[in-house]
Amino acid sequence: MTHDAITLGKICAPLELHCPQEYATTKITGVATLEEATAGDLCFLSNMKYAAQAEKTAASAIFVKTGTVIHSEAILIECDDPYLRFALHLRGLEAQFNPRSGQSSSAIIAPEAKIDPTAIISSAAVIEADVEIGPHTFIGAGAKILKGSKIGAHVNIEAGVVIGSEGFGFAPDAAGKYHRIPQLGNVVIEDHVSIGANTTVDRAALGSTRIGEGTKIDNLCMIAHNVVIGKHNVIAAQSGVAGSTTIGNHCMIGGQVGIIGHLSIGDNVKIYAQSGVMNDVPSNKTIFGSPALEHRHFLKSFAAFKRQGK
């Protein structure tokens, strides 16, 4: 992607990176991958398995980890975390590439909704009554924020997301017929949360389904009624969390993970992709498999299973 020319010195200054004086006036006119870069582009190298690409790239500058030694004609800007610094630079450029502003005329917004004037509501979004949306929050195209939902500040809700849909609650009678349980609660989404396209977050039967500050949820995830997710978690695509489960802070949940209802997941838990979680998980554990086991236990069990087939 190309952009208006910026000197390398001006790029480095807000990122708190040292730019050698002799390169401070070098003009950067774009960002690109190492493979696709041309003269004027800025790239990053965070994984040394791509060092050969960095040595061949035509880029003008590369963010690299402090102490990296490669033979490249590009200017190497050392930093603690090249990927993060590059991401922060992209955020500064975002307004040029993806301008967002105002409320689309095709959005359907209930008069009773309370929307901060700095929030952005995209085309065909639906905002129902008794909804609150905080400052600098983005609501994507076709997203639906249903009655009673409370959305904080600097929240990013992508296209097709549904917040506040009815929770899946049914009670069987003696004859085996299921009767709908009214879902009278709401959804609360705290500040700096990101929710990917076509994810759904159901409202609570009573009380609130809650997504904690800074949590990032990928596309096509399902968060059921009365789930409480803590702060600064990441949940990858196609994962589902069943009703009334609580998840702590700083957890990492891989793609296609399924977590049954009424569980307690601690802090700093890592769950590998495609795991099926059927029991409570204490803090600081890494689990894998279906049913999910502590990672080391799973590997030993799988090795024993393979030996049985010989």
pLDDT in tens, 273-286: 999 999 999 999 99
Whether 57 and 171 map to the same domain: the answer is no
In this predicted structure, the answer to whether residue 135 has a pLDDT above a threshold of 90 is yes
Residue 303 lies in a domain: no
225-245 pLDDT, tens digit per residue, is 999 999 999 999 999 999 999
Residue 135 lies in a domain: no
What CATH number should be reported for the domain holding residue 67?
Answer: 3.40.1390.10
Residue 247 lies in a domain: yes
- pLDDT of amino acid 310: 63
What CATH number should be reported for the domain holding residue 246?
Answer: 2.160.10.10
Residue 275 lies in a domain: yes
Which amino acid, residue 104? S
CB 130, CB 146: distance < 8 Å = no
Residue in this structure with the two tokens 């929770």, named with its chain if needed:
167
Which domain, by its residues, includes 81? 2-97
Residue 114 lies in a domain: no
Residue 154 lies in a domain: no
Whether 71 and 171 map to the same domain: the answer is no
Q: Please say whether the dihedral angle defined by the alpha carbons of residues 32, 35, 37 and 42, taken in this order, is positive or negative.
A: positive
Query: What is the C-alpha to C-alpha distance for residues 106 and 141, in angstroms, rounded to an integer?
Result: 10
Instruction: Give the 3-state secondary structure of residue 256.
Output: coil
Report the candidate in 84, 83, 30, 79 with the shortest Cα–Cα distance to residue 59: 30
- pLDDT of amino acid 260: 97
Instruction: Give the 3-state secondary structure of residue 94.
Output: helix
- pLDDT of amino acid 309: 62
Structural domains counted in the chain: 2
Instruction: Give the 3-state secondary structure of residue 93.
Output: helix
Query: What is the C-alpha to C-alpha distance for residues 11 and 15, in angstroms, rounded to an integer?
Result: 7
Comparison of pLDDT for 224 and 93, the residue scoring more: 224
Residue 129 lies in a domain: no
In this predicted structure, the answer to whether residue 11 has a pLDDT above a threshold of 70 is yes
Please give the model's pTM, rounded to 2 decimal places: 0.86
What average pLDDT does this structure show over 179-204?
97
Whether 75 and 193 map to the same domain: the answer is no
- pLDDT of amino acid 37: 96
Q: Please say whether the dihedral angle defined by the alpha carbons of residues 287, 288, 289 and 294, taken in this order, is positive or negative.
A: negative
Q: Which of 192, 225, 250, 297 is catalytic?
A: 225
Residue 31 lies in a domain: yes
User: What strand order describes the sheet that includes 75-79?
Assistant: 2-7, 27-31, 41-45, 61-65, 75-79
- Ranges 24-38, 43-57, 132-146, 284-298: which has the least confidence: 284-298
Query: What is the C-alpha to C-alpha distance for residues 298 and 275, in angstroms, rounded to an integer?
Result: 11
In this predicted structure, the answer to whether residue 38 has a pLDDT above a threshold of 90 is yes
Residue 121, beta-bridge partner list: 103, 139
Average pLDDT, the chain: 94
Whether 78 and 173 map to the same domain: the answer is no
Whether 86 and 195 map to the same domain: the answer is no
Please tell me the total number of residues recorded for the chain in this structure.
Answer: 310
Q: Does the active-site annotation cover 225?
A: yes
Alpha helices, H only, 16-71: 51-56
